[in-house]
Amino acid sequence: MTTDEATKNEGEVQTAALAEQGEDITPNQDRGVLKIVKRPGNEEKSPMIGDKVYVHYKGKLANGKKFDSSRDRNEPFIFSLGKGQVIKAWDIGVATMKKGEICHLLCKPEYAYGSAGSVPKIPSNATLFFEIELLDFKGEDLFEDGGIIRRIKRKGEGYSNPNEGATVEIHLEGFYGGRIFDCRDVTFIVGEGEDHDIPIGIDKALEKMQREEYCILYLGPRYGFGDAGKPKFGIKANAELVYEVTLKSFEKAKESWEMDTKEKLEQAAIVKEKGTVYFKRASYQVVLACKHPALLASRGVSPWNPEKREMAVEREGQERSTVSHLDQANAEFISSGSLVFPSSQESKYMQAVIQYGKIVSWLEMEYGLSERESKEAESFLLAAFLNLAMCYLKLREYIKAVECCDKALGLDQVNEKGLYRRGEARLLMNEFELAKCDFQKVLDVNPQNKAAKTQITVCQKKMKEHNERDRRIYANMFKKFAERDAKEASRAVGESEVEKATCEEGLKAPVTEGKV
């Protein structure tokens, strides 16, 4: 018997065994995907829709001919389950597996590559055999920062998702420390969940959910209740939370193209006020911390390094005119490394960003306005960009802060707040020369701005420290280069002396008779 004949016989035996003994795992029970477990898994949990799964596999035609193998490549295959990234049989089959399990799947053409096949290895209407090992799986990281992990227990309907400002009706259950702390039906506007004691992680996740979807959300502190915790629910600072959420229904907010100019301007005024409310809630804790850190600590919020506090409090009142005292005090806290904004404040700033961002999405590309509408739109945009810059400073997203300041200065090139906040962001990015230039421009606009004078001094100090550090680094570097060159020169001299001595010895040696 040839190797090909043996392979064919083995394939036919495996196919026949699966056809006879395999479990029908298709939703319609049409025997389109049959499964036999060859090695049970070592855990009870199975992957869910959207999970990232890691598998090894071998694929064969019904006649036993191998057409693909991840083991031959010595590299696991990774895909997102239930997202249509693989053939239908795999989405169905892998969802039934446990971690560590090895199974065999027999897949009819309608659950594999159908009449099209996959040229050149898989012919039309081919029944396929797979051996699959489930190595690992993990939930979907919605924003690729580990802050919100989603696992879908029931897939939603359709392809539409709530947008910012959508009115949603959900059922939620919150879990912490092995107990349920929240269970209710609630209707609210996406981006305003905090008004209903709902963490911003839920707002963010809802924008990726579909109607009737039922999922589990794992929220890190930044997307939960942060450093402040939630005494109402008995949740401590920096708690990791688990929510089970069902999106029962939603009504999308109007998109920009669905609104006329008048409506956009009316809505801009509303969301500007909402953004300011969220911003002030977060900023209130900053000022409270300046004056009463013990009180803030008693509320579960971590104050900053006390050694820096006196300077901060003193400077808080220096400048109260065009550039706010928060502009100055908070920038100095951050730049000195003394203030760590609590995650609860971060969530408020993030919600403020959502509101201000709506103004930009509605008005930035609006054309054909009357003179009055144009002035009103520019006023809203200027305020939105300046407030976004301030929020991004608090969130330590300095590049975005600079971008927003640039746009604000595009509308008003001598705007004092825009120049000052761009200077703050550049200072925090160690771009000292550019920061100093911005603060100098602030003084050109308003020579009485004490905060800008202070920041110029900070820039000069930082530049001096930076230059001294560079000099030390380069001095050490050149010293090492010099030492290395000296060693190489010494070695070269030594080799030259040896070569010279050898040559002289050769010249002195007598010539033996008969030899040249």
334 is an active site residue: no
Q: Are strands 77-80 and 52-61 parallel, antiparallel or unpaired?
A: antiparallel
**Three-state SS for 339?**
coil
57 is an active site residue: yes
User: What tokens does 70 get?
Assistant: 């991840």
Catalytic residue among 130, 176, 333, 392: 130
Percent helix, strand, coil in the chain (nearest 5)? 50, 20, 30
Alpha helices in 325-431 (DSSP H): 325-335, 343-363, 371-394, 398-411, 416-428
Q: What is the rounded CA–CA span in Å between residue 236 and residue 224? A: 11
- Half-sphere exposure (Cβ direction) of 182: Cα atoms closer than 13 Å: 23
Catalytic residue among 68, 136, 141, 412: 68
DSSP letter string, 43-69? SS----BT-EEEEEEEEEETTS-EEEE
Q: Are strands 128-138 and 140-141 parallel, antiparallel or unpaired?
A: unpaired
User: What tokens does 21 get?
Assistant: 């003994």
Phi/psi for 110 (5° steps) reads: -70, -15
CB distance 137 to 47 below 8 Å: yes
Catalytic residue among 51, 57, 223, 327: 57
233 is an active site residue: no
**Three-state SS for 124?**
coil
Catalytic residue among 25, 49, 87, 354: 87
Catalytic residue among 111, 113, 188, 279: 113
User: What tokens does 176 get?
Assistant: 């912490």
Catalytic residue among 36, 54, 67, 214: 67
176 is an active site residue: no
Q: What is the rounded CA–CA span in Å between residue 177 and residue 323? A: 45
Q: What positions carry a catalytic annotation?
A: 57, 67-68, 87, 113, 130
